[in-house]
Amino acid sequence: MRKGFAITIPVAILLLCSCIVLSTNPVFKTSDLVFENALIGTWGEEGSPGYFTVSKSGELSYLLIDDQEGRLGRFETHLFRLENKMFLDVYPEDPSEDINESWIMHMMPMHSIYRVDGIDSLLTLVPIDYDWVKKTVDANPEMLEHTYIHEHLLIIAPTEKYRQFVIDAIPVSEAWDEPMQFLRLGD
């Protein structure tokens, strides 16, 4: 499998390849979507050669293009609000045309979410904590439909059920990983 495609998001290779929670369905409903011009721009970490650019792609959607030393990843991105907190859903777009079609048929794009704790000159994203989610759903399997693929947790619950799980997790400090901060590099 080609590393960095389909099941990862670009943002700092997600805490240097730590586990992220992936799902087959988004957390948001259309009525949850919001649009903030402040998200549009180029973001990166100080001293890192990689960066990502966010642009408007629809009335309530963004295109996130990740550039990791010339290797590009394109992601459909949505900003949404749950319980007065903002979140970002990241979902890979179809890969570039130079990838073998047979390979593409074997890849399954997944959603990942991040709580947005700030958008200004500094973008602060907080992923839901993989270990907390794993421990929570393993202790109560009926709580949220899930499975494991190569020992990696995959949420397969319908949107409404996963959405409620995330809403219930908002006030739980252990449910959220360390924040990732990105500097605005340009508009």
User: What pLDDT, in 10s, does the model give residues 12-55?
Assistant: 333 333 588 999 999 999 999 999 999 999 999 888 888 999 99
**In the chain, how many domains are there?**
1
The set of residues, in sequence order, having a beta carbon less than 8 Å from that of 171 and lying 6+ positions away, is none
Decide if pLDDT at 102 tops 80: no
**CA–CA distance, 144 with 180 (Å, rounded to integer):** 26
Check if the beta carbon of residue 9 is closer than 8 Å to that of residue 66. yes
Owning domain of residue 161: 13-186
Please report whether residue 1 resides in a domain.
no
Q: Residues of the chain with pLDDT > 70: what percent?
A: 84
Report residue 99's pLDDT band, with 50, 70 and 90 as the boundaries: low
Please report whether residue 156 resides in a domain.
yes
DSSP 8-state secondary structure symbol assigned to residue 94 = P
Please report whether residue 3 resides in a domain.
no
Decide if pLDDT at 3 tops 60: no
Please report whether residue 8 resides in a domain.
no
Please report whether residue 58 resides in a domain.
yes
Please report whether residue 132 resides in a domain.
yes
DSSP 8-state secondary structure symbol assigned to residue 142 = T
Closest CA to 80 of 110, 39, 109: 39
Decide if pLDDT at 2 tops 70: no
pLDDT at position 146, please?
A: 96
DSSP 8-state secondary structure symbol assigned to residue 95 = P
Sequence length of the chain is 187
112-144 pLDDT, tens digit each: 999 999 999 999 999 999 999 999 999 999 999
Please report whether residue 7 resides in a domain.
no
Please report whether residue 6 resides in a domain.
no
Check if the beta carbon of residue 44 is closer than 8 Å to that of residue 125. no
Report the half-sphere exposure of 55 (CA within 13 A, side-chain side): 5
